[in-house]
């Protein structure tokens, strides 16, 4: 009986050792995989580090090249300015002509005051497009150099005092007709046989100089019964349609009015 118990205990211990051995083997396999992954990561990081070093050295080299290029450009500009200054000092009067100048290279700020005289400007070279607003005033215009074609009429004001300004040809100004306009009026549009009298009046301050009337809507059997001035300030008319069944029609009266003419 004791031998049987001892054998069972050994079997159980052996099973536990085998289970523990399996666990250790599994752990060892995991550690080996982790170690392999760490080695791969370390290799990748080393490659990235080498690449970063290469980029850093390339950037340093490029910065050095740019610094040298900028310094050379500054020296070239300084040398060019000295050359231009030397040319300006050594160029004799009249040595630089129009053909030697680039378009728009000479501007107003590069010209000394009074450097360009009348003899240096070709006839017709300066027109309206080359003049800024209000740059030419009365002091720059020679006496009697402007004619009527050069003056904008609507910019002129009335002459305050002038001989015969209020009398034309010996006739007072208010005797002449001016500001002629029309004033019209109409009757209702219906079938009545007689329309009118229809009168229109000229506004206050004006007078009638002519006038007339017309029939609209009736092309036959219609006639004006009266058509004449209504005093000196209006026009009046009457019309009739002589038809058994007249159409819808109306009478239109127009007065032609004007100011003056008294």
- Point out the domain boundary residue: 99, 126, 155: 155
SS3 sequence of the chain: CHHHHHHHHHHHHHHHHHHHHHHHHHHHHHHHHHHHHHHHHHHHHHHHHHHHHHHHHHHHHHHHHHHHHHHHHHHHHHHHHHHHHHHHHHCCCCCCCHHHCCCCCCCHHHCCCCCCCHHHCCCCCCCHHHCCCCCCCHHHCCCCCCCHHHCCHHHCCCCCCCCCCCEECCEEHHHCCEEEEEEEEECCCECCCEEEEEEEECCCCCEEEEEEEEEECCCCCEEEEEEEECCCCEEEEEEEECCCCCCCEEEEEEEEEEECCC
Over residues 13-41, mean pLDDT? 85
- In tens, the pLDDT along 38-70 reads 888 888 888 888 888 888 788 888 888 888 988
Mean pLDDT, all residues of the chain = 81
pLDDT bin (cut points 50, 70, 90) of residue 213 is very high
Per-residue pLDDT, averaged over 197-219, amounts to: 93
Tell me whether residue 126 is in a domain.
yes
Whether pLDDT at 162 is above 60: no
Q: Indicate the pLDDT class of residue 26, thresholds 50, 70 and 90.
A: confident
In a domain, residue 209? The reply is yes
| Predicted pLDDT of residue 36 | 85
- Residue given tokens 């239109």 in the structure block: 252
**pLDDT 10s digits, 177-205:** 888 999 999 999 999 999 989 999 999 98
- Structural domain tally of the chain? 2
Could you tell me if residue 19 is inside a domain? no
Encoded tokens for 26: 């599994």
Determine, yes or no, domain membership for 109.
no
pLDDT over 90 percentage in the chain? 24
Highest mean pLDDT among 10-14, 33-37, 73-77, 225-229: 225-229
Q: Is residue 135 part of a domain?
A: yes
Do residue 126 and residue 182 come from a single domain?
no
Residue 172 pLDDT greater than 80, yes or no: no
| Domain termination residue (choose one: 106, 127, 155) | 155
Tell me if 131 is assigned to some domain.
Answer: yes
Considering the domain architecture, whether residues 185 and 247 belong to the same structural domain is answered as yes
Looking at the predicted structure, is the pLDDT value of residue 91 above 70? no
Range of the domain at 240: 174-259
> pLDDT band at residue 135, thresholds of 50, 70 and 90?
confident
């Amino acid at each position: 009986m004791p031998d049987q118990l001892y054998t069972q205990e050994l079997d159980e211990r052996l099973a536990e050792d085998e289970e523990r051995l399996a666990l250790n083997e599994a752990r060892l396999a995991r550690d080996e995989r982790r170690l392999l992954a760490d080695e791969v990561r370390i290799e990748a990081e080393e490659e990235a580090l080498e690449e970063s070093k290469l980029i850093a050295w390339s950037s340093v080299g490029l910065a050095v090249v740019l610094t040298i290029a900028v310094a050379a450009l500054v020296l070239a500009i300084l040398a060019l300015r000295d050359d231009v200054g030397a040319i300006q000092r050594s160029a004799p009067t009249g040595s630089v002509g129009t053909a030697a100048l680039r378009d728009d290279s000479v501007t107003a700020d590069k010209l000394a005051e009074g450097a360009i005289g009348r003899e240096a400007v070709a006839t017709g070279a300066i027109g309206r497009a080359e003049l800024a607003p209000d740059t030419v005033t009365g002091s720059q215009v020679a006496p009697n150099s402007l004619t009527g074609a050069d003056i904008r009429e609507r910019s002129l004001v009335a002459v305050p005092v002038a001989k015969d300004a209020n009398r034309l040809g010996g006739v007072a100004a208010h005797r002449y007709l001016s500001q002629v306009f029309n004033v019209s009026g109409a009757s209702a549009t219906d079938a009545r046989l007689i329309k009118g009298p229809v009168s229109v009046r000229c506004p206050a301050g004006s007078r009638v100089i002519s006038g007339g009337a017309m029939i609209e809507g009736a092309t036959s059997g219609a006639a004006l019964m009266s058509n004449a001035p209504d005093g000196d300030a209006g026009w009046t008319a009457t019309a009739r349609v002589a038809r058994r069944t007249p159409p819808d029609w109306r009478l239109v009266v127009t007065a032609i009015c004007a100011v003056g003419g008294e």
